[in-house]
Amino acid sequence: MQTDKLFSEVVREWAKVFMHRSGRDFKRFMDATGLSFSQINILMRMMHEDSIGVSDIGEKMGITNAAASQAVDRLVQMGLVERTEDPQDRRAKRLKLTPDGLALIKKGIEARSQWIENITQSLTAEQQEMVIRALTLLTEAARQMED
Q: What is the mean pLDDT of residues 50-76?
A: 89
The answer to the question of residue 84 being in a domain is yes
pLDDT of residue 115: 84
pLDDT of residue 128: 96
Structural domain boundaries, residue 10: 3-122
- Alpha carbon distances (Å) from 40 to 89, 97, 115, 123: 27, 12, 20, 32
Output DSSP code: residue 94. Answer: E
Q: What is the pTM of this model?
A: 0.72
Work out the pLDDT band at 65, boundaries 50, 70, 90: confident
Give the total number of structural domains in the chain: 1
- Cβ contacts of 46 within 8 Å, gap of 6 or more: 52, 57, 81, 95, 96, 97, 101
The answer to the question of residue 133 being in a domain is no
For residue 21, count CB atoms less than 10 angstroms from its CB and return exposed for 0-12, middle for 13-18, buried for 19 or more.
middle
Q: What is the CATH number of the domain that holds 111?
A: 1.10.10.10
The answer to the question of residue 112 being in a domain is yes
124-140 pLDDT tens trace: 999 999 999 999 999 99
The answer to the question of residue 34 being in a domain is yes
% of the chain at pLDDT higher than 90: 47
